Amino acid sequence: MPQSLKALIFDVDGTLADTEGLGHLWAFNQAFQEAGLPFVWDTDTYRVLLAVTGGERRIHHFLSTRPDLPSLSRERVAQLHQRKTVLFGERVQSGHVLWRPGTKRLIREAKHKGLKVGIATTTHEANVHALLQSAFGNEWPSWIDLIGAAQHVENKKPDPAIYHWVLQQWGYGPGDVIAFEDSSPGLLAARQAQIPTVITMNEWTYDHDFTGALAVLDNLGEPGAPARVLIPKGQDNVVVDCNVLQQWLEAER
């Protein structure tokens, strides 16, 4: 590995796992239905709302664009989001939310090579715990060294605050780590913190602007099922491992 590379930092929603459609969107709509609210988010609406990071902020933003709907107090929105978080955790535990190809494999490889693995997300830490439990069981703390989540910073992505927080906890500089994101707000957050960033786009983010990314792929790949590489240009399909990350970093430098 490059001498400076000490850690990998992963976003959660859409990056570690396919959490959006069968996870968060389902949980939002279930919470709305339980509360007797007169609206449902369809996939087109949710795709637009994903540009707003943080669940409570997403609800407030939606209501601000729909004066025909009843207004909700900040306390009521917070209660709705709390219920949504519980529903999401139950959804994960039921097996409906699947991890993306290559993420668990790369985390295990990085740890075996002595790198730290951290999380930098705008979602609630309870959501992260549920997801990690689904993948690694009760041993998940031995695979994940640090979780930076919504409660640790005031400003959400694309603000770089959560990345600055993670780096500060470790005492690392931006050249010591690589970030993994799936969206343009996530990329902007990591790049504003000057962190090289690998993008694994998905059905919700394939049309985002990924200018400045170290690499852009459809996933991280698995042996026998490599990822499709969009950036760097001219590269064959790959299974992203620590050696591939080294090559990309050295090419950028």
Q: What is the dihedral of CA 127, 131, 137, 143, to 10 degrees?
A: -100
- Which residue among the candidates 11, 18, 159, 218 is catalytic per the annotation? 11
Helices (H), the chain: 26-34, 43-49, 55-64, 74-93, 103-112, 125-136, 161-170, 184-192, 242-252
143 and 108 Cβ atoms separated by less than 8 Å: yes
Residue 13 annotated among the catalytic residues of the structure: yes
Residue 11 annotated among the catalytic residues of the structure: yes
d(CA 165, CA 159): 12
Provide the 10 A C-beta neighbour count for residue 209: 10
Q: Strands 229-231, 215-217: parallel, antiparallel or unpaired by DSSP?
A: antiparallel
- Which residue among the candidates 13, 159, 182, 218 is catalytic per the annotation? 13
d(CA 139, CA 176): 26
Provide the 10 A C-beta neighbour count for residue 234: 6
158 and 53 Cβ atoms separated by less than 8 Å: yes
Buried/exposed 195-204: b ≥16 CB within 10 Å, e otherwise: bbbbbbbbeb
Total H helices, total E strands in the chain:
9, 7
Catalytic residue numbers, as ranges = 11, 13
